[in-house]
Chains A and B, each alone.
Chain A
Amino acid sequence: MHRLTHSLATAGCSSTRAVRFAASSWRSTAATAVSPRPLLATASRRRNIHVRVPLPYKIEDGMGDFLPPAALKVIAEDYQQGLLDRLNEQIKGTKFENLSVAQIVISTAPHESQTLAFNYASLALNNSFFLHHLKPPTARAPNHESALTGKLLSHERTHRLAGAITAQLGSLADLKTYVAAAAQGMNSGGGAGGFVWLVTDALGRLGVVATYGAGTLLVAERRQSLLAWDGTELGGVYQPATPPPPPSGRTQHAAPAQARALSTSARASGSVRPTNVWSDPPLAPSDAGAVAGSDGTYGASEAPAALDALGKTLYPLFCVSVHEHAWMAAGYGVWGMETYLERFWTCLNWVAVREAYARYAVRK
């Protein structure tokens, strides 16, 4: 043992390095034969910070007519990395340090003191989601809408998403109108902007949801879909005095304090009214305006149990970033949101949207 330490001391280098390099020369050939790996630790041993997820396309090439390379760089690099850098600063040394961005959104949502971390994380998440659902158009395909009615997926028998859009929203043009209306409403306030999402739930119902500011779909209470939380500014909240008996076997609980609103639809007559999911008879056409594109009746064939799943968990299909920095950087000017939205549709990756819809809408 003493001979050992003596040989280390005579190595001549600093003590730490001497131990490490000496050890590497002692490595038996048997050990190296097992599996060659880098000398220093695997990723989980090193402290990590948030860095951007690599995109499936090159930022230098831009996004067709929608976003020139400089604008894509502003959104995908400057803005995104800025959000992650500020998030890193906020969570350094806290218990949120080793969490993924989605987990940070969930963990910081209930705490007012963590507002900054929540905002940065939520914006980074939404912006990343927006960027990952873009695909540059090609000469042959000026937009990717042909994927909606193109080759069927392995487990599909019909074009489910295309059918759902036609049945529930009217047509693709109607969907674009709803998104444009939501974006216009968001932008007319001259505020911090937000994101407009196409969402679906387990039943396959589609809806257009706007999340203002740093709202997120992950935490229902922080969705920030409505400017005022209790909905008094939107025409009142439906509150049944005694809800009808729930489907067989399920225990009856007190009515929820607020009914769930699935979307901010442009089709609703007058103000947006929340859906009544507790109704026993089918809804009259005038009552169901809140669900985008619904013709009013849920149909006699729709089981009452399925209504409980309506809009409970909203799965995102795609989103649009409604921020001034996006269309200003693209050169559309300060009032260029309409052009920005028009050109967005040429770059939306409908293949990914279709696959996502097929994956989530399972409770048919």
Chain B
Amino acid sequence: MAALCPARRRLFSALLRQPCRSFTSATESSEKILQSQDDWTAFQLDRAERTTLVDVFSKFGSAQTRDNTWQPHHPLHRPTAPRDLTLSALLAAGAHLGHHSSLLNPNFVPYAYGTRAGITIIDLERTLPHLRRAASLVRAVVSRDGTVVFVGTRTDLRPTVLKAAQRIGSQGYHVGEKWLPGTLTNKVHFFGPEVAQSERVVPDLVVFLNPIPNLHAIRECAIEHVPTIGIVDSNVDPRIVMYPIPANDESTRTAELIAGVLSIAGREGAELAAERAQKRARSARSMAKHRTLEVD
């Protein structure tokens, strides 16, 4: 570029600048605001055409598409299955980051790996088997027609618990806002005497993604003899829940990972129950057929 005469250099730099100069400026685009219904229709048709064009070209170029690459919404919408769970995944989610060492609960020491940068590092090699045990438990409970409640009472945990419950299906429930005190211990007041007696109001398993703000709920589960799973951090006594998962309770990624693993295990349990019911129905039908044949 330096070897060119000034005129040529100016031309080249002008040409290089051209593509970006012709993008619509803010003033131009503000003139084209939609005003009438027909404007909106034309805008929608335009957008549909542009989408078609992008879809046409998306098939070419390389084998990498939006579907087979990691997207930021995948931890919530496409969680890891229990069989695909690895230590690296837990590490990447920041599950090993505990609270400050001065806040270390003495009962948490077996789950602590050490201290670094003033915080307790949680030993993920103990977290992983605990998480897998919890997954097996959720699978077993759901496959035996049990109900599971996911509790995550923080704004960032709300979509996580909702999706986790939806994944399990009719046997999954979630509490994303607040666990009303007395839900289990005062069920007659909450649900009415008929419902409290005839329907299954007490869940078979409760999963706490943030146990500290929900200690009242944990206490209720203990009173009603409901098994609990919970993410316990380094400032927490792991014995507050029956099946602790020592991990970082402040990280959204960790909570999404753990809730995802447990909900996929629950979905597998539901599928198993459906398979078993199908098999039983088939064998009952074939037995009935045999009996009628014998009688004949």
Contacts and interface: CB of A to CB of B under 8 A. Distances in A.
Given A103-B66, A112-B17, 5 more contacts: A34-B272, A98-B70, A124-B61, A128-B60, A129-B60
B56 A125 contact: no
Contacts of A221: 19, 22-23
A4 B126 CA distance: 9
Nearest to B72: A98
A224 B59 CA distance: 22
B102 interface: no
Nearest to A98: B69
Q: For B15, B38, B60, which residue has the most chain A Cβ atoms within 10 angstroms? A: B60
A338 B226 CA distance: 81
A48 B143 contact: no
Interface string B31-45: 110111111001001
Interface stretch (A38-46, A163-171, A287-295, A324-332): A38-46
A37 B61 contact: no
A41 B83 CA distance: 9
B251 interface: no
B83 A45 contact: no
B62 A52 contact: yes
A52 B60 CA distance: 9
A283 interface: no
A125 B272 contact: no
Contacts of A248: 38
A53 B64 CA distance: 9
Contacts of A16: 87, 125
A103 B20 CA distance: 18
B52 interface: yes
A47 B70 contact: yes
A19 B58 contact: no
Contacts of B199: none
Contact of B52 (A106, A111, A315): A315
Contacts of A51: 62-64
Contact of A250 (B16, B21, B23, B42): B42
Binding site secondary structure of chain B: helix
Contact of B139 (A31, A37, A44, A103): A31
Interface in B269-285: 271-272, 275
B186 interface: no
Interface residues of A, number: 76
Given A101-B61, A121-B61, A316-B56, A251 B126 contact: no
A253 interface: yes
B71 interface: yes
B31 A53 contact: no
Given A313-B46, A313-B50, A43 B68 contact: yes
A160 to B, nearest CB: 17
Closest 7 CB pairs of A and B: A101-B61, A249-B38, A50-B62, A128-B60, A313-B49, A98-B69, A102-B57
A5 interface: yes
A253 B32 contact: yes
A109 B22 CA distance: 12
Interface of B: 15-23, 31-32, 34-39, 42, 45-46, 49-50, 52-54, 56-71, 74, 78, 80-84, 86-87, 89, 110, 125-126, 128-130, 132, 136, 139, 143, 268, 271-272, 275
A41 B63 CA distance: 18
B61 A4 contact: no
Contact of B60 (A109, A125, A224, A251): A125
A45 B60 contact: no
Interface stretch (A22-30, A147-155, A237-245, A261-269): A22-30
A128 B36 CA distance: 41
Contacts of A249: 36-39
B83 A53 contact: no
A4 B61 CA distance: 50
Contacts of B49: 202, 312-313
B22 A15 contact: no
B244 to A, nearest CB: 9
A99 B70 CA distance: 9
A229 B22 contact: yes
Nearest to B58: A102
Contacts of B58: 100, 102-103
Nearest to B66: A100
Q: For B19, B31, B37, B39, which residue has the most chain A Cβ atoms within 10 angstroms? A: B19
A44 B70 contact: yes
Nearest to B39: A251
B69 A250 contact: no
Contact of A218 (B53, B268, B272): B53
A102 B54 contact: yes
A132 B58 CA distance: 13
27 contacts: A1-B130, A2-B110, A8-B129, A15-B125, A16-B125, A19-B129, A30-B139, A39-B83, A41-B80, A43-B68, A44-B67, A44-B69, A48-B70, A98-B69, A98-B70, A98-B71, A99-B66, A101-B61, A103-B66, A112-B16, A112-B20, A128-B62, A229-B19, A251-B34, A251-B39, A313-B46, A313-B49
Contacts of B81: 37
Contact of A19 (B60, B61, B84, B128): B128
Contacts of A303: none
Contacts of B57: 102, 105, 125, 129, 217-218, 316
